Structure formats: C-alpha cells, structure tokens
Chains A and B, each alone.
Chain A
Amino acid sequence: MRRFELDVPETLEDCLHLLATRGPDAKLLAGGTDLLPQMKNGVLTPRRVIDLSGIPRVKVLESDAKGLRIGAAVPARQVEKDARVRGGYASVAEGAALLGSVQVRNLATIGGNLCNAAPSADMAPPLLALEAVAVIAGPKGERRVPLADFFTGVRKTVLGPDEILVELVAPAPGPRSGGSYMRHTPRRELDIAVVGVASQVTLSNGVCSKARIALAAVAPTPVRATSAEAALEGKALTPQLIAQAADLAAQSAKPISDQRGSADFRRHLVRVLTRRTLTTALARAGA
C-alpha cells in the first residue's frame, strides 16, 4: 500500500473541514473492505485517508413510526441482525446478510456499499424499492437526494469531492406491506450478484396499492423496474399477474454479457427473481 497520512475526526463538522482542506487526494474510509483492497493493488493511491469510524453521526441505526435511519458507517452485520430491520424492512436485512463473509460484514458499511456504486451493490435494490433518501453533508449544509438519483454510472455517484454520505432514510412502508431481496450467485457465499432483485408491495382492500421493484447488475447503475410496478398497482396480486410483471421487469432490464453471465441469462434471472421476490413480499404483507 502506498503511504498516506491518516486523519481520525470525531465530528461530522471536523470531517467536512478536513475534506475541504485536504483536497481531492483525500479518500474517506468507512469499513475499508472495498477501499483497502483497491489501495493494496494500486488502483487507488490517495495521499490522505480520513477515517469515519470515530464519528457518531454516521453510526446511527434508528427505527420509529416514520421510518428507518441507517447511518452510512453502520456495519452490514449490525443491520442484518437488528430485530427492527428484520421485522419491518426484511429486504434490507437480506441484502446486508449477503455482503461477503461474517468477517467482512462486521466491517463493511451500508454507506460504503452504496458509495462504491457497483452495479451489483446488494444494498441498493432493497433501499431503492423502499424509496430511501440519501442524506448528504457538504460545506454548504445538508441535502437530501432520492437514492434513485444517487447513482450516476458505474462506480459514480452524485457525491461531490467535498461531500459525505451521512445516512439513508427509508420511510416506513406502513401496515400490510412486505419486501424481499434475492440474488443469484454461482457460489453461495462471498460472491457478487449476477442479478439481484428487491420487491416491496403494500396491500389495501385486497389489491396492491403500491409496488416497487429494483434491479441490480442489469444496467450501469441499480435501477427501478417501473413498467412492472405499474402493471401491479390497483390489482389483486395473482400468480398470473406476478408472472406478467416478471416478464415486464425482464424486458426493462438492459444487461451486458460478461464472465458472470450473458445478457440473455441475466434477463432470465430478472424474470425468475422478480417472480420469487414478489411472491415472498406478498406473503410477508400478510396476503
């Protein structure tokens, strides 16, 4: 690893000040599970590293009637095991449980997974389907960006060089709601999603009042499958309708072919995983 200076700020304000004065050569360090391997193999060579682990503001995990707040530096393992997350936001717990091994999940953070902005990021689909908002701090104060607008390309986000992702806020999905996240990987553990799908549905008077479906690893960024969502809303979620929505989700996917899978295989996986996650979400909503 190339040598660097390390700052260990204890407040968000100090961290923002450091980021503003240290310049573009500084890198923010959260869990380090993506950053350190890239620094060890020379892909990234920052002259300065700013460690977020001492800042309480980015380590908050709270749930109340309004929704769920996940600090950007909360480890995946904490999210995976949190009873409130497992109960009310099952898809988020499922995504968190898939990041690497236990040893990695005790370090890897939710914010790091999102800021790394891999198309296959496992935390993105569950939070997109819950319509989460990214709270971003910068020199001019805080701004709130819907997660749907957060990713701008492969490994690219809306974050400016002087900004920090502080937390993710997911509004409570309300009663009679359920969610699910599933992915396909050749190996069961420590692998990267060939395709990941999250579904979130809310029921009211026997019909689906709201449906949200988000896909990973089928486009340069994680994306919503809006045509499939529209096909479900206002209707009873029969197996036939779920199959139709799965077809629409597969048609909306624009995957590439690479060593993990061909574009055709990925479209097939979108169809299968959309059907499975919708069926699970429906059962969890209490259908």
Chain B
Amino acid sequence: MAKQILSSTINGEAVEVLVQPYETLLDALRENLGLTGPKEGCGTGDCGACTVHLDGKPVASCLMLAMQARGRSVTTIEGLGKNGVLHPLQDAFVRLGVPQCGYCIPGVLMAAAALLAENPKPSEEEIRYGIAGNLCRCTGYTKMITAITEAAQAPRSA
C-alpha cells in the first residue's frame, strides 16, 4: 500500500507530507507534522477534542482522511494565535483559568473561534449551541461560556 503525497496549507504554510491512504487527518497532524494540539478523545466525532478548521470551518479531524484535506487550508490550535500573540479567546481562557485537565480546550477554542468569526456577538444560547459538539469531562462549561462572552466583547483589530 503506497503512501500518498498530501499537499495542503497548514497553519498558513504550504506543506507536502507523505501519508498513508488510511490515515486520518488527526493522525497526520499529530504523528507526521508534530501538531499535537488537536487531541483524540472518542475518535468517532462525538467529543470535539480533535476540532480543527478546514477552509475556516470547524471539522472533526478524526472523521476525515488526511488525503481529504488535499488542496485545502487547515488551521490547528497552533495556528490560532498570530505572530506570538494569543487569540482573544486564548487570552480570555488563560486569564479566567478555564482549563481544568485541559484535554478538551484546543477543540473548544477552535469551535469558539469559528463561532466568533461567523457571529462576532453571539448570545449565551448561540455560544452553548456553538460548543455543543465539544465535551469537557471536567464539566467546566460555565467558565468557557464566560470567557467566550468576554472575548466577544473585547475590542479586536481583526
């Protein structure tokens, strides 16, 4: 079974990497590219820990084959901040001490970033709906919602 060449843009950089045809995007990011921010929780698209952006939209990277990202742009938590500056969501999560065990946080941040990109001033209901695909086994949802609300209110250049 021959490896295939995956050509994508990953966190803004053109990347060519050899992947197995049966490799998921999540495995390619973690194993081949060293991007260990996206996590495997359930592996079946229920928990959202593997959330990355595909052409700006949040997807479960455990449910995609790596080769399905060919020619497309992938952003992981490693690419969310720009030029060493945290994204306002990351900043709010740090200031409010949102992470407990932390395992779900990269996925939550990517889901929340996609929500704010589409809907800069979401209601609490819309925030809850926006992160409904992310499970936190520490059940730390209340602080997440507070932090996302605060980040949405912060002045942003972008």
B58 shortest CB reach to chain A, Å? 5
Q: Is the interface of B mostly helix, strand, loop or mixed?
A: mixed
Report how far A32 CA is from B111 CA in the complex, Å: 20
Per-residue 0/1 for B61-83: is the Cβ within 8 Å of any A Cβ (1 yes, 0 no)? 01111011010000000000000
Per-residue 0/1 for B129-141: is the Cβ within 8 Å of any A Cβ (1 yes, 0 no)? 1101110000000
B63 touches A37 (CB 8 A): yes
A36 touches B130 (CB 8 A): no
Partner of B67, one of A2, A8, A33, A104: A8
B4 touches A107 (CB 8 A): no
A6 shortest CB reach to chain B, Å? 4
Query: Which residues of chain A have C-beta atoms less than 8 A from B4's C-beta?
Result: 6
Query: Which residues of chain B have C-beta atoms less than 8 A from A33's C-beta?
Result: 45, 60, 63
- Among the stretches B20-28, B88-96, B97-105, B143-151, the one at the interface with A is B20-28
Report how far A103 CA is from B130 CA in the complex, Å: 10
By the criterion of a CB under 8 Å from any partner CB, how many residues of chain B are at the interface?
32
Report how far A101 CA is from B22 CA in the complex, Å: 24
Nearest B residue to A2 via CB reads B22
B20 touches A100 (CB 8 A): no
B21 touches A5 (CB 8 A): yes
Nearest A residue to B27 via CB reads A1
Per-residue 0/1 for A91-119: is the Cβ within 8 Å of any B Cβ (1 yes, 0 no)? 00000000011111011000000000000
- Among the stretches B10-18, B29-37, B46-54, the one at the interface with A is B46-54
B158 within 8 A of A: no
B59 within 8 A of A: yes
Cross-chain pairs A/B with CB under 8 angstroms, 13 sampled: A3-B20, A3-B22, A8-B67, A32-B63, A32-B68, A33-B45, A37-B44, A100-B45, A100-B133, A104-B63, A107-B45, A189-B129, A190-B132
Q: Spell out B's residues near A (CB within 8 Å).
A: 1, 4, 20-22, 24, 43-46, 48, 51, 54, 57-60, 62-65, 67-68, 70, 111, 114-115, 129-130, 132-134
User: Given A31-B63, A104-B133, list of 8 further CB < 8 A pairs?
Assistant: A6-B65, A37-B45, A37-B63, A51-B65, A102-B111, A103-B45, A103-B51, A189-B133
